[in-house]
Amino acid sequence: MYRSCLLAFSSAVAMFAAAPLQAQEYPVDTVTLVTHSSPGGGSDVFLRELSRYLGPILGATVVVENVTGGSGATAMANLAQSPADGSRLYATTPTFIYTSLLSNPEYSFDDLDPLVNFFIDPEVIFTAASSPYETLEDVIQHARDGRGRWGAANPASLERQSLELLKAETGVNAAVVTHEGGGDLMINVLNGTLEIGVGEIQELKGQLEAGEIRLLASLTSDRIEAYPDVPTVQEAGYDVFVRKFRGLAGPQGLPDDVIAAWERAVPEVLALQEYKAIYEANSLRAEFMPNEEYQAFITEFATETEEFLRSTGVIE
């Protein structure tokens, strides 16, 4: 249904694409990046921003298409049946692994080939500015003494998994409450119903700048550059960290010249000053992974997730 936005958008992109010199020829003229996020959603806004800078470097018109429904199952089915010539690619987030494992759809992540990775979204643990908790340890101690109330945005998600892992690692008694998205979670953290919540910095920016919430720890392997004072959970002594990736996948059997074109273009885009300013303001961490590395990463990620879901009895 978004064809008109697509057309309009591709013309907008064409405008951008026309200006700088065409660096190299991409095998096809138009690349469609498919997202399962609806227009205006997090992944959608991210992709549209990215496509603006990607077009000239890749040497093709880049458009974004929203194939919503079934938490990504519809998009995966759509992609798996698309031609493997690099003209249609799927914007991956951990959601596509979760949906594949939880819902067992006809086409799953196994039917797609991971291409390259762009970013890792840092996940952080936050609390209301008015809460008494100053460090992660305060929160854990509170849960140890009685019962903790922790919140994640969605039922089966990386955020929930990270809290369940933290709970298992610390061995405390905590309720992990799930919500219908980050907004819902934020309200319950702000009004003190929950002690902590987990989210991406990008989503928390408004409250963070206004000083309504406080970051306690990051769920990353290293400290986040923009927030050097926030310790990682690992520093606090609990071996929990997650990697919320943002990359691309395509139908199986992508040709080598397509893979090569992306492996060349992505580091270039990430190095663009103009784009860098935008993604760094959103605390996205550039983490380019070439094709082989990304394939291995996705396999490992899927295995870990499957293990988690199996051990908790969510799937058989």
Minimum distance between the CB of residue 186 and other proteins, rounded to whole angstroms?
6
Instruction: Report the candidate in 149, 135, 141, 133 with the shortest Cα–Cα distance to residue 194.
Output: 149
Minimum distance between the CB of residue 299 and other proteins, rounded to whole angstroms?
22
| Smaller CB separation from other proteins, 176 or 302 | 176
Minimum distance between the CB of residue 242 and other proteins, rounded to whole angstroms?
16
Number of other residues whose CB lies within 10 A of the CB of residue 105: 18
Write out the residues near other proteins by the rule CB under 8 A. Answer: 1-9, 12, 38-41, 44-45, 48, 66, 68-71, 73-74, 77, 98-99, 102-106, 147, 149, 154-157, 160, 164, 175-180, 183-184, 186-188, 190-191, 193-194, 205-207, 209-210, 212, 312-316
**Counting beta carbons within 10 angstroms of the beta carbon of residue 217, is it exposed (0 to 12), middle (13 to 18) or buried (19 or more)?**
buried
| Smaller CB separation from other proteins, 40 or 228 | 40
Quote the CA–CA distance of 281 and 115 in Å, as a whole number.
Answer: 26
Minimum distance between the CB of residue 209 and other proteins, rounded to whole angstroms?
5
| Smaller CB separation from other proteins, 158 or 217 | 158
Minimum distance between the CB of residue 303 and other proteins, rounded to whole angstroms?
19
| Smaller CB separation from other proteins, 122 or 254 | 122
Minimum distance between the CB of residue 28 and other proteins, rounded to whole angstroms?
20
Minimum distance between the CB of residue 279 and other proteins, rounded to whole angstroms?
12
Instruction: Name, in order, each residue with C-beta under 8 angstroms of 298's C-beta and a sequence gap of 6 or more.
Output: 92, 97, 109, 114, 245, 249
Residues in the chain: 316
Instruction: Kindly list the distances between the CA atom of residue 124 and the CA atoms of 13, 140, 198, 200, 297, in Å, as whole numbers in the listed order.
Output: 33, 15, 6, 6, 21
| Smaller CB separation from other proteins, 92 or 291 | 92
| Smaller CB separation from other proteins, 36 or 285 | 36
Q: Give, as one character, the DSSP assignment of residue 284.
A: P
| Smaller CB separation from other proteins, 35 or 232 | 35
* Phi and psi angles of residue 36, each rounded to the nearest 5 degrees, phi first: -90, -5
Instruction: Report the candidate in 127, 115, 138, 99 with the shortest Cα–Cα distance to residue 33.
Output: 115
Identify the helix (H) or strand (E) that includes residue 287.
strand 285-289
**Counting beta carbons within 10 angstroms of the beta carbon of residue 276, is it exposed (0 to 12), middle (13 to 18) or buried (19 or more)?**
middle
